Structure 1
Amino acid sequence: MTVSTAIARLNAADPDFARHLDHLLSWESVSDDAVNQRVLDIIKAVRERGDAALVEFTQRFDGVDAKRIDDLILRRERLELALTRITPAQREALEKAASRVRLYHERQKQDSWQYTEADGTVLGQKVTPLDRAGLYVPGGKASYPSSVLMNAIPAKVAGVGEVVMVVPTPRGEVNELVLAAACIAGVDRVFTVGGAQAVAALAYGTESVPQVDKIVGPGNIYVATAKRHVFGQVGIDMIAGPSEILVVCDGQTDPDWIAMDLFSQAEHDEDAQAILVSPDAAFLDRVAASIDKLMPTMERAEIIEKSINGRGALVQVRDMQQAIEVANRIAPEHLELSVADPQAWLPQIRHAGAIFMGRHTSEALGDYCAGPNHVLPTSGTARFSSPLGVYDFQKRSSIIFCSEQGASELGRTASVLARGESLTAHARSAEYRILTQDKGN
């Protein structure tokens, strides 16, 4: 296969740099009207006809010869069977990755707390796991067992009572690695349905699919659109855009390493984004040469080439300080600090989904087995959001217990504020608790 790379070259000294960068970063994940209407129709059908609609849509969209909902349910025994069907090396890798992911996320678990004020008033916070979480997993050839681990394990660590997984099996293609990952991660139930219909089933429930409290996991445009529409009925993790990597390099890392790190995200799809920022112009040239050299060796060369040419860039900056400024401006999903002393620059990084420190820490390690979650904010949303974690499967309730004296003291303050808002029932409710000896004060 012949590929031609023409990755964009930007220079921060260019007066139009900001405009060019904004154009490069722009991404619209809005569904068109046709997709939006089709998703709304599917959601309506699932709400009205439940299991029957799931069976019908699975026949139509996935080409699966299912006659009834039981044909779309995988029991725990089937997940355990998958463990025996994968290779010993695959099972060992899944178990090691799961162990590391679990260990990392156990440190995120939040506990309830309370404190008592001098007058006996008790304030606090009660942390409670969700009752049930839904996990969407892409199916068929585009299968990601790593996503099963990254989504299911934090839910289990949080204490979620039941994790329900949906995974399409187009034309009956079952991915044993995905099912094995579900077994290792502790998934409780699996339904072989996908698309907007699976999201609708999780959000509203059917005769067989239980209604969940939150839906997590990646999917195509129909899945993303459905998640938008059911948000509010259930929680969702995020509406993710294409995968991104930003590498900041001082020019001393092997250019082949950097080129392959850029490829590691570009191979996801044509809209993925891979950007290198460096103050060393000659190093940018060497990386460009590595890209041309290595591209023909890649199995997904055509996808990588379209991604690199369409949304990739090599960016020259004045110095490392400006490189960090550009990184914060981009707020990437994945940020590699491929520099001599990454720890020195870490305090200045404000916006990034995950930060990979040093020359040896490739982003791919984080995707699979380092431990931190690979579900990360994209499209600049790292400015205000965080990686998926245990905290996404826990909710917090405020605790307020007033002693007699505390209620009297707080009642006077509440009364003034409530009457200032013309909410006299609020005021009188608080005033009833004011002690007689305090009312004249």
Structure 2
Amino acid sequence: MKTCILFVDDEKLVLSGLRRMLAPKRQEWDMTFVTSGEEALAFLKENPCHIIVTDLLMPGMDGNQLLKKVQHAHPGLKRVMLTGQPSREFQSQTVFSAHQFLMKPCDYQTLVGLIEDLAKVDGDGLGNGLKDLVTTIESLPAIPETFNRITQELYSEEPSIDAVASLIAQDVALSSKLIALVNSPYYGGNKVSEPKQAVMLLGLNMIRSLVLTVQAFTVYDPAKVPGFSIPMLWDHSQRVACLGKRLALARGRSAEEADHAFLAGLLHDIGKLVLATHFPEQYNGVLAVVGEGKHTVHEVEEREFGTSHANVGAYLMGLWGIPANVTQAMFLHHSLQPIPEDSAPLFEIHLGNLLDHVHTIIHSHYALQEMYANKLASSPLENILPDWKDVLEHCQ
């Protein structure tokens, strides 16, 4: 089955250029080119499609308005913005309506690479309803206290980018969105794995434009799922990220592979936040069963949702452009199969996650310490990282 891609731009010369440039992909892609948002919506009403790529500035319905309509009418459609506008206004509008975006003119390799990577993000195992829901997610809910402190700092007389960076690094929602943003082809495809690096690259003006778009970032209500703690989730994720990077370096991985291990650790449990936010009643039930001490979180999630947080998080981050080896590590970090040592960063995240579950009391709902301990005992941890106890203390 060919991948269906819809291109939208009011300039016919631009569409002609795209048609010529992408001619080599005609055997793999079913491509349609239209000149307005209205034409695009009419086409989608009659033709199921996989990816839409639209310009921002168009008369009548602009690209942002089009993607908002697409998001509601065709929730499973993957959305890409292609624009020549490098303004803060562009980014504050489109960061939340498009999954990914590109600066034009865009070369063949960059455009084709992005579309091919996006087409491979399939979300198998999620089920159509859950997949559609995840595809519509613009951002994740921020921690209220942290969000308020960031806002206060940004509004202060002399805001400090270091202070803002440190605060954003404490929040899983803001961190994940900014890392995805700064690593996008629009910013030249940076290789950034840490939230503070993302903030430094974007700068205060851009952070202010994004964070202060209040309607863009929802704020998490902890009362809806009393047994679920974002701060505890994020603390665990940061420890696994630290452990993953140290394990990668001990294995002799490259600097980029070590950074990918850090990023995979940081994001590996983000699917829990998605499920707890969108299905609070069901997730309360999941945590209640887990609290009995007989089953792990991902096992009960599988029974309740037909999938686990690992798949949900990997799919969302894949949509946002996080590298495929990182999302694979997220997807398989609870795998029951032996993990080959040459599978980076999956091997590091699987082992780092085990290590933290055994030696850190994360939450009363995270039981079965003995099971994790047995898995850890059969792992090659001692050979790879003889000083693992010191490393564990460093990552606390």
Q: Which has the higher contact order (CA 8 A, sep 6+)?
A: 1
Shorter-chain TM-score bucket reads under 0.3
| Greater fraction strand | 1
Give me the TM-score of the superposition, normalised by structure 1.
0.25
